[in-house]
Amino acid sequence: MTAVLPERSTAPAPALSTVPAIAPCSSGACACAACAAAGTGAADLLARLATAPGGRTAVVAGADRLTFDELRAEASATAARLAALGIGPESVVALCLPRGAALVTAIIGTLTAGAAYLPVDPALPADRRRYLVEDSGADLVVVDGADGSPAPGTRAVTVAELTAAPGGPAPSPYAPVAVTAGTLAYVIYTSGSTGLPKGVEIGRGAASLLLKELEAVGAATGEGGRVGWNASPSFDASVQQWTRLCRGDTLVMIDEETRRDPSLLAAFVDEQALTDLDITPSHADPLLDLLTEDGGPRPLTLLVGGEAISPALWDRLVAAHRSGLLRALNVYGPTECTVDSTAGWIDRPGEPHIGAVLPGLRMRLLDEKLAPVGPGESGELYLAGPRVGRGYRRRPGLTAERFVADLSEDTPGGRMYRTGDRCRLLPDGRLVYLGRADGQVKLRGHRIELPEIEAALTRIDGVAEAAVILGEDAGGTACLIAHHRGGDAAVLRAALADGLPSYMVPSAFVAVDRFATTPSGKLDRSALPTRLEAPARSAAPAETEPGATGVEGLKGRAEELIARVWTQVLGTASIGPDDNFFKLGGHSLLAIKLVSRVRVELSVALPVKAVYAHPRLRDLAAHIEELLAARDA
């Protein structure tokens, strides 16, 4: 079936203040009328999914299309087969599947069987995938091919075996298994301060409330929305995206190449007539100009989250929002509190804020002694209410440390989640994010515990000590910097890449003879430089044209151009024809800057994927020469 794309609407977006709020009960129980109305009872999300118009397109994934009738039928068959394998409530099914229609079917089928899903991105290093499956105690692993489970000894089934129609008559629809608000819905792993990632458990009622609350603040309006699935399935933002299916919206999968190339993504937004796109500030920055350059309004809501928005980007988003070109909503929330905890429209100039707490949560700003801070003062943010997660899977000690007793008199026995984020409350109820109170950082939307990287470094032979910080490269772009005593930078980079996701591998490695310490003998992190300085540039020969690099061995216009652009983007003059962009500290954002400069200088459309396919300067230059020849032919 071919999806029919809706015409672009120019109707004004509803004001935040006009959308009614919901009021679920504060205890998280599913027996009261308010919680039942909010969808936190046994029926939860699947009851809403059952009412979506059958012929409407539910999932678009490249050339693949699924209608809601087809999605429900495949999910029903999947649930029946899972049940036959002994999967039910509180079972965990690890989905080691790429982004696509089969992943969506597997998620809905797992929930229909009453079980919980654990997303395991196939792109993760093998050791990481094995750890997630083993640590979670997954009862079953669903894989894309016949390679078997990432963790030897764990039951595995291919997605084809799980969804293939059995012989004989078509099976009867599989009735969703009865669950409660507290039944486990999913487990998502986040970076761990102890050196190992930890699995966050979220219940069915919390996931259901998330969708209701986004609707309540106007983030999801009207019917027939087209929602881009932009986040990795292994990150909680993906939950916000696939739950939109349950209100009858179409879920449009965004492939990896499109995700990391702003030009392709901007074109994709228009081609697919997307109404909703979840994006980090780092990726919104280059995308915004492309979305607004034609001056035409779009029925698009950008849900911006995952890291702090800079004042400059905030002002640009305000201008786009107020001019009616698109809507922009800032969302914030830890995985432990079901994706989004606060939301605020980016419609006022001034200090960036993260909005107000959503209805299913309550907030408190407390000092080190757990006493409330005064008006306008900085305090650590604590969150309570029915969207607070169940805790960390198989980590009772860590759960007790972060999920603490709720001090509110009206919620005896309740719990609060200690976010570790420092905030300040504005007079109108909006929150200003001030930073972290511990070793956790956010980088391009990824939540990273620096001690996890440090632990991985010190496990490498030859490394006596290591400290990782969030700093800036010479161009002012945020990056991870690893300071290490012992070990070779190239060896360390390769070793980390084998065990950590790519976003956790530092962009730079700085060898030190010794680390500065505080008077108490602890590592003095404040003494570590947070900015990488560009090396002194080589003196260029007198006859060199302005802008030339002065690096010997370069041949042809493309190589000289790439070398010059690399010196600007990477902040170094020590560049040769055999150098590797990523080994010199390049990353996804710098790759975007690189292709942008090339397009301006040569008027050639160099895709971001070309930088990944040809990271060596000489190879990338040869590829550009081919593009130029094809263009001029």
The predicted structure's pLDDT at residue 308 = 85
C-alpha span between 586 and 468 (Å, rounded): 17
What average pLDDT does this structure show over 1-8? 34
Q: What is the DSSP letter of 223?
A: S
Beta bridge partners of 357: 342
Domain 69-179 has CATH 3.30.420.10: no
Confidence check: pLDDT of 178 > 80? yes
Confidence check: pLDDT of 302 > 90? yes
What average pLDDT does this structure show over 506-510? 86
The predicted structure's pLDDT at residue 25 = 37
The predicted structure's pLDDT at residue 520 = 59
C-alpha span between 458 and 464 (Å, rounded): 6
CA nearest 417: which of 381, 383, 390, 370? 383
C-alpha span between 45 and 4 (Å, rounded): 26
- φ/ψ (deg, to 5) at 446: -95, 135
CATH topology of domain 440-527: GMP Synthetase; Chain A, domain 3 (3.30.300)
Confidence check: pLDDT of 540 > 80? no
- φ/ψ (deg, to 5) at 146: -100, 20
Confidence check: pLDDT of 19 > 60? no
C-alpha span between 95 and 88 (Å, rounded): 15
The predicted structure's pLDDT at residue 304 = 95
The predicted structure's pLDDT at residue 505 = 87
C-alpha span between 336 and 278 (Å, rounded): 19
- φ/ψ (deg, to 5) at 598: -65, -40
Banded pLDDT at 625 (limits 50, 70, 90): confident
C-alpha span between 22 and 66 (Å, rounded): 32
Burial 236-271 (b: 16+ CB within 10 A, else e): bbbbbbbbbbbbbbbbbbbeeebbbbbbbbbebbbe
Banded pLDDT at 35 (limits 50, 70, 90): very low
The predicted structure's pLDDT at residue 165 = 55
The predicted structure's pLDDT at residue 31 = 37
C-alpha span between 210 and 187 (Å, rounded): 16
The predicted structure's pLDDT at residue 162 = 85
85 in Cβ contact with 157 (< 8 Å):
yes
C-alpha span between 79 and 110 (Å, rounded): 6
The predicted structure's pLDDT at residue 261 = 87
User: What would the two tokens of residue 606 be?
Assistant: 């160099």
In tens, the pLDDT along 460-496 reads: 988 888 889 888 876 677 888 899 988 888 888 888 8
Confidence check: pLDDT of 46 > 70? yes
In tens, the pLDDT along 219-257 reads: 887 778 999 999 989 999 999 999 999 999 999 999 988
Of 102-111, 267-276, 588-597, least confident by mean pLDDT is 588-597
Confidence check: pLDDT of 203 > 50? yes
C-alpha span between 572 and 534 (Å, rounded): 5
* Mean of per-residue pLDDT scores for the chain: 83
Q: Other CB atoms closer than 10 Å to residue 153's CB: what's the count?
A: 8
Instruction: From residue 349, give the alpha-carbon distance in Å to each of 318, 345, 604.
Output: 6, 11, 37
What average pLDDT does this structure show over 264-292? 92
Q: Which residue has the higher pLDDT, 140 or 538?
A: 140
CATH topology of domain 556-632: 1.10.1200
**Burial class of residue 372 in the structure, from the number of CB atoms within 10 Å of its CB (0-12 exposed, 13-18 middle, 19+ buried):** exposed
User: Which H, E and C letters describe 137-199, residue by residue?
Assistant: CCCEEEECCCCCCCCCCCCEEEHHHHHCCCCCCCCCCCCCCCCCCCCEEEEEEECCCCCCCEE
Q: What is the DSSP letter of 396?
A: H
The predicted structure's pLDDT at residue 584 = 78
Residue spans of the domains in the chain: they are 69-179, 440-527, 556-632
**Burial class of residue 461 in the structure, from the number of CB atoms within 10 Å of its CB (0-12 exposed, 13-18 middle, 19+ buried):** exposed
Gyration radius (Cα) of the chain, Å: 25
